[in-house]
Amino acid sequence: MAWVPYSRGLHHVAEGCWAWLEPPGTWGMSNSGLVTIGGETLVVDTQIDPPRARALRAAATGVAEEITTVVNTHDDGDHWFGNLVFEDARILATTAASDAMRTMPMDPRRLGEIGGEGTALRRWSQWRAEVYDYEGWRPAYPTETFDGSLTVKLGDGTVELHEVGPAHTRGDAIVHVPAAGVVFTGDILFHRATPIVWAGPVSNHIAACDVVLGLDAAVVVPGHGPVASGAAVRETRNYLVHLLEHTLRHVEAGAPPEVAYRTFDPGEYRLWPHTSRAFPTIQAIYAEHRPDLAGLSWAETMEIVLAGDAE
């Protein structure tokens, strides 16, 4: 694979395939993808807000053919809030992701109001409300859903969708372009950053890494971070196995998740940004094995994650 710089915009990664990169990849700055085969184009994820979605669409118009299909890899807003810019296409997601979008408790038009007065969550939300723009926004939901795997015809070729959730979220999917040797992983991979497992089971996220590795694609486009290869997926897998083993020891001892978090050493991965994202992943492990000890709300969990970000 040719080296791809980590700079904002569209980068050609393989025959008919581009990655739209949005550095630095932190909270909401996610990647998208384009696949063009035989005069038709598929878009993977639509960015977090209308201006970013329009920038993606404008860049796509320069290199790709007619956009006929959109895939949302999961229900986090940074992967589908730009759907309204692509409403002339069919929009695909797993049933679980589509259900989560339709029942989303948060409205991005009131982004700056999330979290209680004086909390880190409120400051973070206000920062996001300044960085992202929801003027004229409305939700545009998937028009078609699938479960398991789906082959999408594109021109005279095919693209394969594989459901690998629940893992990062309830309904994760990956997008594989066999003819080009490219896989778009959504947030199964945060390249060069600490992964975050909101839904779990964590063992499912590890299994999702194995599915990606099994495709043996030369190019791996992560949900966040620079363009990668299988090596980055193996690193994320190793990290999650390490975190799972550490946390299960605390689960067995009956210790609370906060203790598992404070005593976790990421080892060779300690230089990855957002080390505190280990906490929601630990919570997911507790929710599976000791739900009685995993009582924190999303807002309380975020308070701990953001305190770690500030350290």
Report if residue 47 touches Zn ion, rule: CB under 5 A: no
CA Rg value for the chain: 19
Of the two residues 32 and 36, which places its CB atom closer to Zn ion in the complex?
A: 32
What x-and-dash track marks residues 149-188 binding Zn ion by CB under 5 A? --------------------------------------x-
The size of the interface with Zn ion (CB under 5 A), counted in residues, is 5
How far is CA 178 from its chain centroid?
A: 21
* CA pair distance 210, 16, nearest whole angstrom: 25
Of the two residues 76 and 235, which places its CB atom closer to Zn ion in the complex?
A: 76
Of the two residues 50 and 195, which places its CB atom closer to Zn ion in the complex?
A: 195
Question: Minimum CB separation from Zn ion for residue 170, in Å?
Answer: 14
The CA angle 112-117-121, to the nearest 5 degrees, is: 55
Stretch (H or E) spanning 174: strand 173-177
Q: Which stretch binds Zn ion (CB under 5 A): 57-65, 105-113, 218-226, 231-239?
A: 218-226
Question: Minimum CB separation from Zn ion for residue 39, in Å?
Answer: 30
Strand order in the sheet with 9-14: 9-14, 17-21, 32-37, 40-44, 66-71, 90-94, 144-146
| 198: DSSP letter | S
Report if residue 76 touches Zn ion, rule: CB under 5 A: yes
* CA pair distance 115, 123, nearest whole angstrom: 8
Question: Minimum CB separation from Zn ion for residue 30, in Å?
Answer: 4
Name which position in 17, 21, 29, 30 contacts Zn ion (CB under 5 A): 30
Is residue 159 within 8 Å of 152, Cβ to Cβ?
yes
Report if residue 78 touches Zn ion, rule: CB under 5 A: yes
Interface residues toward Zn ion, by CB under 5 A: 30, 76, 78, 187, 223
